């Protein structure tokens, strides 16, 4: 007997394929990342729009007597943004920290607009900027940071030594030089001070760069235990003595430049050799970053000077520094009288460095940074008084002051 089929029983149909939990998560994550990319694009576009408004503001301020920085407005703005952040569930500190960076950069751009060379030179004139080293050098990074808002087409050119670099400025082969002058870990760079004293050049700017020293090896298979020799610029090595001293039997070899040390590493193909340099140097020359933040202290900054053949004028509304060189007379209290002249006119001394005068044993030249504009009447009076106690006094330049980190 044939079994009958119940017409009320539905026929068995194949179920549609279902996504696993992993596949669903991957799809959701991909969609979220696309949304994040779109938000990031909007943020960049909005920042670009804000910078357009800042440039227009700078142009208007150049025709008025308005100060570059309005501290009261900034604090009111940050307070308002903090309240707004809290109202939408964001930590106020997070939002205000971001906007402090934006405000600092905006003020910097407005100040640069009022500096003589930037405000008056045509944008069609190219600018050649020199630095010591090769691609990936910290000096190049500082130069790119300093000239990022320049309205002139900027070309960067590397030189083997500080002397080669500054002589190129002196001979008119390049327009500017980026010269490291001091570091928060290793101190002053003496060679730079000595060259400034002997060449007829001017300081027209400064830049401050956070230095993240990396241990760079041949490739990702190299282990720390394999390294026998570390090479870099002497200043970089001096900033990483704690790390270098912690590895027994490690040979340290000074070289002409941090990025050149990476070039040597790659060209020699030596697994036992490592270089201390920037992450950019590793990216540029093909090395692998084995460790980061090698400096003795985390807040490791280098201050760079921007050098030119001719000085620039800094608008009195722009926070400025004035750098001078002087040699005191062989008289009791001569240096004290120079410092008293600055103090008497309310001028803050932010740097005082002594260097021996070549071919004149036991004679010293002083380098000083004044926290003031050269055009200030008080600065003029103080420098005039200092000439009475000095053998010679030379103004190296007046330039916009970069805020300390």
Same domain as 101, residue 127? no
- Identify whether 311 is part of a domain: no
Of 216, 229, 221, 197, which Cα lies nearest the Cα of 307? 197
Q: How many CB atoms lie within 10 A of CB 281?
A: 31
Going by their DSSP bridges, the two strands 364-370 and 320-328 should be labelled as antiparallel
Which pLDDT score is estimated for 8? 43
Q: Is 385 part of a structural domain of the chain?
A: yes
pLDDT tens sequence across 13-32: 455 555 565 666 767 888 89
Q: Write out pLDDT tens, residues 135-161.
A: 999 999 999 999 987 777 899 999 999
390: domain CATH number is: 3.30.70.260
* Res. 346: pLDDT tops 60: yes
Among the candidates 148, 182, 211, a domain finishes at 211
- Cβ-count burial of 309 within 10 angstroms (0-12 exposed, 13-18 middle, 19+ buried)? middle
Contact 127, 147 (CB under 8 A): yes
Q: Could you give the 3-state DSSP secondary structure of residue 220? A: coil
Q: What is the three-class DSSP state of 358? A: coil
Is 304 part of any domain?
no
Query: Which tokens in the block code for residue 225?
Result: 């235990």
- pLDDT digit string, tens, across residues 182-209: 999 999 999 999 999 999 999 999 999 9
Q: How far apart are CA 405 and CA 126, in angstroms?
A: 31
Q: Is residue 85 part of a domain?
A: yes
**34 lies in some domain:** no
Is residue 275 domain-resident?
Answer: yes
220 and 194, same domain (yes or no): no
Are 103 and 178 within one domain?
no
C-beta separation of 325 from 197 below 8 A: yes
First-residue to last-residue Cα distance in the chain: 95
pLDDT of residue 12: 47
Whether 243 shows a pLDDT value over 60: the answer reads yes
Of 158, 178, 211, which one is at a domain's C-terminal end?
211
Residue range 203-242, pLDDT digits in tens: 999 999 999 999 999 999 999 999 999 999 999 999 999 9
Shared domain check, 205 and 144:
yes
Q: Does residue 105 sit within a domain?
A: yes
Q: Are residues 192 and 269 in the same domain?
A: no
Do residue 155 and residue 93 come from a single domain? no
Q: Looking at the structure, tell me whether residues 195 and 136 fall in a common domain.
A: yes
User: Which positions are annotated as active-site residues?
Assistant: 302, 304
219 and 200 in a common domain = no
**Residue 137, token pair as written in the block:** 């050098």
Residues 138 and 206 in one domain: yes
Number of structural domains in the chain: 4
Helices 162-170 and 190-198 meet at what angle, rounded to 10?
30
Residue 369 lies in a domain: yes
Q: Is the pLDDT of residue 38 over 90?
A: yes
162 and 197 share a domain? yes
CB 218 within 8 A of CB 269: yes
Range of the domain at 83: 46-60+67-113
Whether 220 and 158 map to the same domain: the answer is: no
Residues 91 and 151 occupy one common structural domain: no
Give the CATH number of the domain where residue 185 resides.
3.40.190.10
Helix orientation angle between 71-87 and 92-113, rounded to the nearest 10 degrees = 150
Residue ending a domain, among 195, 211, 227, is: 211
């Amino acid at each position: 007997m044939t079994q009958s089929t119940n017409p009320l029983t539905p026929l068995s149909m194949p179920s549609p394929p279902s996504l696993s939990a992993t596949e669903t998560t991957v799809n959701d994550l991909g969609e979220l990342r696309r949304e994040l990319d779109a938000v990031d694009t909007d943020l960049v576009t909005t920042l670009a729009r804000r910078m357009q408004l800042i440039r227009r503001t700078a142009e208007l301020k150049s025709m008025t007597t308005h100060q570059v920085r309005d501290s009261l407005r900034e604090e009111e703005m940050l307070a308002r943004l903090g309240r707004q952040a809290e109202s939408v569930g964001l930590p106020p500190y997070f939002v205000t920290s971001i906007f402090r960076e934006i405000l600092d950069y905006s003020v910097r751009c407005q100040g640069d607009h009022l500096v003589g060379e930037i405000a008056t030179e045509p944008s069609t004139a190219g600018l050649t900027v020199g630095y010591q080293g090769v691609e990936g050098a910290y000096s190049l990074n500082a130069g790119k940071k300093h000239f990022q808002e320049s309205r002139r087409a900027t070309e960067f050119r590397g030189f083997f030594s500080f002397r080669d670099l500054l002589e190129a400025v002196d001979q008119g082969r390049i327009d500017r030089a980026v010269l490291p002058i001091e570091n928060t870990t290793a101190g002053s760079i003496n060679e730079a001070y000595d060259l400034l004293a002997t060449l007829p050049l001017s300081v027209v700017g400064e830049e401050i760069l956070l230095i993240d020293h990396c241990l760079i090896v041949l490739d990702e298979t190299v282990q720390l235990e394999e390294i026998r020799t570390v090479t870099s610029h002497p200043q970089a090595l001096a900033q990483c003595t704690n790390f270098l001293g912690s590895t027994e039997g490690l040979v340290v070899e000074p070289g002409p430049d941090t990025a050149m040390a990476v070039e040597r590493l790659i060209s020699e193909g030596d697994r036992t050799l490592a270089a201390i340099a920037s992450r950019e140097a590793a990216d540029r020359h093909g090395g692998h970053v084995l460790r980061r933040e090698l400096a003795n202290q985390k807040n490791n900054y280098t201050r760079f000077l921007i050098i030119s053949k001719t000085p620039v004028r800094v608008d009195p509304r722009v926070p400025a520094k004035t750098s001078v060189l002087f040699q005191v007379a062989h008289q009791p209290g001569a240096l004290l009288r120079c410092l008293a002249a600055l103090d008497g006119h309310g001028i803050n001394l932010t740097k005082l460095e002594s260097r021996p005068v070549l071919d004149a044993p036991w004679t010293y030249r002083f380098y000083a940074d004044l926290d003031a504009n050269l055009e200030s009447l008080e600065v003029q009076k103080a420098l005039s008084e200092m000439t009475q106690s000095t053998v010679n006094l030379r103004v190296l330049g007046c330039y916009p002051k970069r805020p300390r980190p």
